Structure 1
Amino acid sequence: MVKFMLKFLLLALVLFVGVFIGMEKAHQGMQGMKGYEDTALPPPVHISESEDGKIEAAFLGNEIDHAEEFAKKKKELEDIETYNFFSSMGKALSSFVKETAKFLIDFIMNLFKG
């Protein structure tokens, strides 16, 4: 089973990388058909290093900034106060089962005590 999972993950990784290579080749083909460099058509995956040593990445024209995105998503999660119906029902059910089991055990113990 472990060998199968390793083979499967390796195959998925190869196919995933193949998709990116295909996107880059399609981009080069589009530039070749136009005959000139078009700034309106950015490369699908672009990675560069700035002067201060920071690595900048862009995927399909969108800049990727992990620190900023992480802080923004963390703030959004803190701001959102959600009510999950299924979570509250699960808590109520577990509380009911716990109290019922406690009552039954106490009842049976009192029968045996006398």
Structure 2
Amino acid sequence: MIRFFLKVLFGIGLLFFGVLIGIQEANNGLLKMKGYEDPNFKDAFTIQYDEEKGYKATIFGESVAKKDLEEKREQLEDIATFNFFTEMAKKIGHFIMGIFNKSS
């Protein structure tokens, strides 16, 4: 089962990077067709090395940092979201378990 999940995750990751490469190639094609550099066209995915800050990645012109990802994860954990379908499934599960527990 774990091998299956690893294969699926690898496939999804491979397809994701394939999409990024395709977007980058489309951007390069637009630049060749246009004939000149336009600062409004940004690369789909770039990695730059800075001696002071280390590696810096950008996706669609937006900077991606480990600190940003950790802040977003903390924000998601802080938000107490209510999922209607999950709550209904829990109630139905408890109801069915109650029926089978009473009959046995």
Assess same fold via TM > 0.5.
yes
Deviates more, 1:13-22 or 1:49-58: 13-22
Is the Cα–Cα contact under 8 Å of residues 27 and 41 in structure 2 kept in the other structure? Answer: no
Instruction: Tell me the equivalent position of 1:26.
Output: 29
1:51 Cα deviation after fit: 0.7
- Change over 3 Å in CA distance of 1:13–1:74 after alignment to 2: closer
**Counterparts in 2 of 1:1-114, with a 5 A limit?**
9=11, 12=15, 16=19, 19-20=22-23, 22-26=25-29, 28-29=31-32, 33-34=35-36, 38-52=38-52, 54-65=54-65, 67-105=66-104
1:43 Cα deviation after fit: 3.1
4+ residue runs over 6 A deviation: none
TM-score normalised according to structure 1 size = 0.60
Query: Within 2, Cα distance between the matches of 1:83 and 1:13?
Result: 30
Is the Cα–Cα contact under 8 Å of residues 42 and 61 in structure 2 kept in the other structure? Answer: yes
TM-score normalised according to structure 2 size = 0.65
- Change over 3 Å in CA distance of 1:80–1:95 after alignment to 2: same
Task: Give the gaps of 5 or more residues in structure 1.
Answer: 106-114
Overall identity of the aligned pairs, in %: 22
- Change over 3 Å in CA distance of 1:85–1:16 after alignment to 2: closer
In angstroms, what is the RMSD of aligned CA positions?
Answer: 3.3
Task: Give the gaps of 5 or more residues in structure 2.
Answer: 1-6
Is the Cα–Cα contact under 8 Å of residues 42 and 60 in structure 2 kept in the other structure? Answer: yes
Q: What SS is found at the alignment partner of 1:42?
A: coil
